[in-house]
């Protein structure tokens, strides 16, 4: 009887795994179809833009970002902070399918943003280069990609102020901030950690560690709500003020900011094994998951304190980042099984209720993201970084099912 029960149990487990694998196969097949649509839209948009570039000397557009209010494809130049996500998506498609055509597309679109390795005017070089060239090196081990990553880390390091202990985020709005550091900047630290491994130069590691520690000290309230922007005095290194730029208010919890923190500190624990970072990630997770304004499907409103909840836009991009982060956090935390369940639920919610129908939305994968509600910019639209972290979450789920390393 016991033997029969065990056999039945194993059969059920195997069936569940098979169903999960089949579902994943369908999701990636649909992602391929959608991305094929998007590539055609990109080609058409670039062709129409070429004459305008020559006439008006505009920067070349290289990556699809979102849709305009009238439903047209919006593409960006290499300098845009989102330019690396689409090449990263292409690398993810290659990783899952092993199809040469996706690798070739990934190589082509990555090459369009290589010069950003020298752009010291932005902290987002990590988003741009690591999401593209970082994934590329991981998959095909092209030594030239490693050189791009090392040079990018050198460039990013120029924005570090040792007095403050952080990398400067923005150079604009100098009338508002002296030395702004945003929670998003946690996501750019992975580039520095990788560059240390590649080069043996520990200065990159030290900068990343310092930034993470300083941000942990100054960006979070006692309940682990994150401020979006912390402004520093460059002479004393002290905090001047704590504000928001994309959240509802200075005291609110901007959903994507919480996601950046969750992902960033989980990654920092992986890279340093410093338990303070793991604890920080778990505390941020606790704030998110116990928040009374978190919807049952775990896809958050754009801000946890938005005044019109439940009649506020969701932010699928925040949910995608959270799903990917929870998959990784499940590897390190004593609550790993719980976090894995949470990640699975978010993934299921996104896959069942927030995907574009094949052929719609110019080929973007997900809908209902919010870029910046206060500026009424990119509200309830597809966004390339939502798609990027969604595919990353799907791949992480697959690797965990197969008991393979995530990295």
Catalytic residue chosen out of the listed positions 52, 70, 124, 171 = 124
pLDDT of residue 16: 43
Say if residue 214's pLDDT is above 70.
Answer: yes
Q: State CA 188 to chain mean position distance.
A: 10
The verdict on whether 231 is a catalytic residue reads: no
Segments forming the whole domain that contains residue 44: 2-401
Beta carbons of 300 and 319 less than 8 angstroms apart: yes
Q: Is 406 among the domain residues?
A: no
The CATH number assigned to the domain holding 79 equals 1.50.10.10
Q: Is 239 among the domain residues?
A: yes
User: What distances in angstroms separate CA 161 from CA 135, 179, 212, 227, one per listed residue?
Assistant: 28, 9, 13, 20
Total of domains in the chain: 1
- Answer positive or negative: Cα dihedral of 282, 184, 77, 136: negative
Report residue 99's pLDDT band, with 50, 70 and 90 as the boundaries: very high
Q: What are 317-360's pLDDT values in tens digits?
A: 999 999 999 999 999 999 999 999 999 999 999 999 999 999 99
Using a pLDDT cut of 90, give the percent of the chain over it: 90
Q: What are 249-305's pLDDT values in tens digits?
A: 999 999 999 999 999 999 999 999 999 999 999 999 999 999 999 999 999 999 999
Q: State CA 151 to chain mean position distance.
A: 22
Calculate the dihedral angle through the C-alpha atoms of 24, 25, 26, 30, rounding to the nearest 10 degrees.
Answer: 100
pLDDT of residue 92: 98
Report residue 71's pLDDT band, with 50, 70 and 90 as the boundaries: very high
Beta carbons of 365 and 391 less than 8 angstroms apart: yes
Tell me the whole-structure pTM to 2 decimals: 0.94
Q: What is the Cα–Cα distance from 392 to 406, expressed in whole angstroms?
A: 10
Residue range 219-244: mean pLDDT, rounded:
97
Q: What are 238-250's pLDDT values in tens digits?
A: 999 999 999 999 9
Of 76, 92, 83, 81, give the one whose Cα is nearest residue 34. 92
pLDDT of residue 287: 98
Q: Is 112 among the domain residues?
A: yes
Q: What are 124-140's pLDDT values in tens digits?
A: 999 999 999 999 999 99
Q: What are 30-61's pLDDT values in tens digits?
A: 999 999 999 999 999 998 876 555 555 578 99
User: Residue 180, SS3?
Assistant: strand
In angstroms, how far is the first alpha carbon of the chain from the final one? 42
Of 280, 241, 243, give the one whose Cα is nearest residue 258. 280
Q: Is 146 among the domain residues?
A: yes
Q: What φ, ψ does residue 402 adopt, rounded to 5°?
A: -90, 0
Q: What are 145-164's pLDDT values in tens digits?
A: 999 999 999 999 999 999 99
Provide DSSP, 92-150. HHHHHH--HHHHHHHHHHHHTTGGGGG-TT-STHIIIIIIIIIHHHHHH--HHHHHHHH
Of 321, 214, 166, give the one whose Cα is nearest residue 257. 321
pLDDT of residue 47: 87
Residue owning tokens 């094929």: 36
pLDDT of residue 127: 98
Say if residue 394's pLDDT is above 70.
Answer: yes
Catalytic residue chosen out of the listed positions 80, 184, 315, 387 = 184
Beta carbons of 149 and 134 less than 8 angstroms apart: yes
Q: Is 22 among the domain residues?
A: yes
Say if residue 11's pLDDT is above 70.
Answer: no
User: What distances in angstroms separate CA 157 from CA 80, 143, 351, one per listed residue?
Assistant: 19, 21, 38
User: Residue 320, SS3?
Assistant: helix
The verdict on whether 124 is a catalytic residue reads: yes
Q: What is the DSSP letter of 237?
A: -
Q: Is 407 among the domain residues?
A: no
User: What distances in angstroms separate CA 180 from CA 169, 194, 240, 371, 373, one per listed residue?
Assistant: 6, 25, 10, 19, 20
Q: Residue 213 corresponds to which tokens in the numbers above?
A: 């520690």
Calculate the dihedral angle through the C-alpha atoms of 22, 336, 322, 241, rounding to the nearest 10 degrees.
Answer: -170
Beta carbons of 295 and 222 less than 8 angstroms apart: no
Contacts 24+ apart (CB under 8 A), 241-247: 242/218, 244/374, 245/182, 245/372, 245/374, 246/371, 246/372, 246/373, 246/374, 246/375, 247/303, 247/374
Q: What is the Cα–Cα distance from 141 to 139, expressed in whole angstroms?
A: 6
Radius of gyration for the alpha carbons in the chain, expressed in angstroms and rounded: 21
Q: What are 331-340's pLDDT values in tens digits?
A: 999 999 999 9
């Amino acid at each position: 009887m016991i033997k029969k029960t065990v056999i039945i149990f194993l059969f059920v487990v195997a069936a569940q795994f098979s169903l999960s694998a089949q579902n994943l196969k369908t999701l990636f097949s649909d992602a391929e179809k959608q991305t094929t649509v998007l590539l055609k839209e990109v080609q058409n948009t670039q062709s129409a833009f070429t004459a305008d570039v020559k006439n008006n000397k505009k920067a070349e557009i290289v990556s699809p970002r979102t849709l305009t209010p009238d439903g047209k494809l919006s593409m960006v130049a290499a300098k845009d902070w989102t330019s690396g996500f689409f090449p990263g998506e292409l690398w993810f498609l290659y990783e899952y399918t092993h199809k040469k055509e996706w690798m070739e597309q990934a190589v082509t679109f990555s090459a369009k943003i290589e010069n950003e390795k020298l752009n010291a005017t932005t902290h987002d070089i990590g988003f741009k280069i690591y999401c593209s060239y970082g994934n590329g090196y991981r998959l095909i081990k092209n030594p030239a990609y490693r050189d791009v990553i090392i040079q990018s880390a050198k460039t990013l390091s120029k924005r570090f102020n040792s007095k403050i202990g952080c990398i400067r985020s923005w150079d604009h709005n100098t009338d508002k901030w002296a030395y702004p550091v945003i929670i998003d900047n946690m996501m750019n630290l992975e580039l520095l950690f990788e560059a240390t491994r590649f080069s043996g130069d520990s200065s990159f590691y030290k900068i990343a560690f310092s930034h993470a520690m300083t941000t942990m000290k100054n960006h979070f309230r006692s309940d682990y709500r994150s401020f979006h922007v912390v402004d520093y005095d460059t002479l004393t290194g002290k905090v001047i003020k704590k504000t928001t730029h994309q959240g509802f208010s200075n005291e609110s919890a901007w959903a994507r900011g919480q996601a950046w923190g969750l992902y960033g500190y989980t990654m920092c624990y992986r890279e340093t094994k410093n338990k303070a970072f793991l604890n920080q990630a778990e505390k941020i997770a606790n704030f998110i998951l116990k928040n009374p304004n978190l919807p049952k499907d775990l896809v958050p409103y754009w801000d946890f304190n938005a005044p019109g909840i439940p009649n506020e836009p969701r932010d699928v991009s925040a949910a995608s980042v959270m799903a990917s982060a929870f998959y990784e956090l499940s590897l390190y935390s004593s609550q790993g099984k719980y976090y894995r369940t949470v990640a699975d639920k978010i993934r299921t919610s996104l896959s069942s209720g927030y995907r574009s129908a094949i052929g719609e939305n110019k080929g973007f994968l997900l809908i209902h993201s919010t870029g910046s509600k206060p500026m009424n910019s990119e509200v309830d639209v597809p966004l390339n970084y939502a798609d990027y972290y969604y595919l990353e979450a799907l791949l992480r789920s697959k690797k965990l099912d197969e008991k393979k390393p995530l990295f």
